[in-house]
C-alpha cells in the first residue's frame, strides 16, 4: 500500500464518520503488537505490559520496572509506535504503572490535481497515557487501567477517556495452565466509537525439565468491535536467560482472512531484558518489527 493510497484512505475514514460521532483518530495504530514478542497481547507481561492491566506485577523482591518498546512497519507505510512504562511495587501484593504510547504515520502526502503535486504532509498520529493498578490474590491477579487517548488526522484533533480491566490466572485447575481476559480501549459511553478490543488467551506447559527449560503452547482470540477478529496458536520455550516463541495467526477483516507467522525472542541478563520480534505480512503492511528493552529496579 503506497503513501498516496494511505493518505486517501485516512481522509476517507475521517470524512465518513457521522457528524455526531466522537471517534478519536489513530485507533488503528494501536493494533500494532507493541511489546508482545509473539505473545498473545493479553498474556504479555514483558518490558511494556500495555494490553492487560493485570500484567504489570513486579516479581519480588524488586521494587519496580522501567520498560521501552517500539514497533516499525516498512518504509512504504511509515507507521511506527513507541511506548514507555514505569511500574512500582506496592504493599499487599499490589502494583501501579504509568505508561505513555505514541504512534504516527509519516509521509502522508497531500496531493493536488495531479499525484505529482504535493501540498505538504497530512498529520496522522495518536498518543495514549495510562494509569494502571493491579492486585494479586493467591493465583489470580486483577488489574484496572484508566486511559486518555488523543488522536490527530489532518486538522481534526479529538480525545477521550477509557477504562480497561483484566484478569490473569496461574495454575488453573491445579495444572500448569495460565489464562487471561482483558479489554483494551473501552469507553463507558460511545464504546463503539473507540472500537474496543476484547481478548482471551490460555496456555499450558507441555514439557518441563527441572528449572532448566520449559515449553508452553496456547491459543488466543481478539475481537475488535465492528472491525476485525484474530485467532492465534503459538508455542514457546524458556530458560533462565532466554525465551523464544513462534505462532500462526489468522486475521479477519471486512470478510477477508489472512494467515501470517509471528516469531520473537528475548534475553534476560541480571535485571535487564532485551527482546526482538517479527510479524509477517498483514493487510499489505509487509513485515512488522518489534524491539523491547527493560530493567527491574531493586
Mean pLDDT of 138-159: 94
Which pLDDT does position 112 carry in this prediction? 58
Q: Map out the domains of the chain with their CATH numbers.
A: 3-113+120-297 (2.40.160.60)
Q: Report the C-alpha gap between 294 and 13 in whole angstroms.
A: 36
Q: Report the C-alpha gap between 243 and 274 in whole angstroms.
A: 10
Residue 227 main-chain phi, psi, to 5 deg: -140, -70
Does position 10 have pLDDT exceeding 60, yes or no? no
For 116-142, how does the pLDDT look when each residue is reduced to its tens digit (9 = 90+)?
555 677 889 999 999 999 999 989 999
Q: Strand ranges (DSSP E) for the chain?
A: 64-72, 79-90, 94-105, 109-111, 118-121, 124-137, 140-153, 156-169, 177-184, 197-209, 213-224, 228-238, 242-253, 256-269, 272-279, 288-297
Q: Report the C-alpha gap between 65 and 84 in whole angstroms.
A: 11
Does position 241 have pLDDT exceeding 50, yes or no? yes
DSSP label at 29?
G
Q: How far apart are the first and last CA of the chain?
A: 46
Which pLDDT does position 49 carry in this prediction? 80
Whole-number Cα distances in Å, 192 to 20, 163, 228, 264: 13, 14, 13, 32
Q: Report the C-alpha gap between 221 and 278 in whole angstroms.
A: 19
Mean pLDDT of 262-278: 94
Amino acid at each position: 500500500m503506497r503513501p498516496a493510497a494511505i493518505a486517501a484512505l485516512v481522509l476517507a475514514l475521517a470524512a465518513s464518520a457521522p457528524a455526531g460521532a466522537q471517534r478519536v483518530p489513530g485507533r488503528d495504530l494501536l493494533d500494532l503488537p507493541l511489546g508482545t514478542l509473539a505473545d498473545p497481547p493479553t498474556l504479555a507481561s514483558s518490558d511494556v505490559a500495555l494490553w492487560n492491566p493485570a500484567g504489570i506485577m513486579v516479581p519480588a523482591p524488586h521494587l519496580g520496572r522501567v520498560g521501552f518498546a517500539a514497533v516499525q512497519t516498512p518504509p512504504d507505510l511509515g507507521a511506527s509506535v513507541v511506548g514507555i512504562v514505569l511500574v512500582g511495587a506496592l504493599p499487599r501484593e499490589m502494583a501501579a504503572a504509568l505508561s505513555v504510547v505514541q504512534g504516527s504515520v509519516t509521509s502522508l502526502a497531500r496531493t493536488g490535481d495531479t499525484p505529482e503535486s504535493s501540498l505538504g504532509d497530512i498529520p496522522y498520529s495518536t498518543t495514549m497515557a495510562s494509569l494502571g493498578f493491579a492486585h494479586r490474590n493467591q493465583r489470580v491477579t486483577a488489574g484496572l487501567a484508566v486511559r486518555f487517548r488523543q488522536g490527530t488526522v489532518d486538522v481534526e484533533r479529538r480525545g477521550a477517556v477509557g477504562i480497561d480491566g483484566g484478569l490473569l490466572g496461574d495454575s488453573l485447575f491445579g495444572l500448569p495452565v495460565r489464562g487471561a481476559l482483558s479489554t483494551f480501549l473501552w469507553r463507558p459511553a460511545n464504546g463503539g466509537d473507540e472500537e474496543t478490543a476484547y481478548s482471551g488467551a490460555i496456555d499450558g506447559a507441555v514439557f518441563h525439565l527441572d528449572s532448566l527449560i520449559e515449553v508452553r503452547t496456547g491459543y488466543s482470540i481478539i475481537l475488535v468491535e465492528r472491525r476485525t477478529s484474530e485467532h492465534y496458536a503459538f508455542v514457546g520455550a524458556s530458560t533462565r536467560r532466554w525465551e523464544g516463541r513462534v505462532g500462526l495467526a489468522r486475521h479477519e477483516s471486512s470478510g477477508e482472512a489472512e494467515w501470517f507467522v509471528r516469531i520473537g525472542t528475548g534475553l534476560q541478563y541480571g535485571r535487564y531484558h532485551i527482546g526482538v520480534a517479527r510479524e509477517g505480512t498483514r493487510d499489505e503492511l509487509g513485515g512488522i518489527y518489534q524491539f523491547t528493552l527493560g530493567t527491574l529496579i531493586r
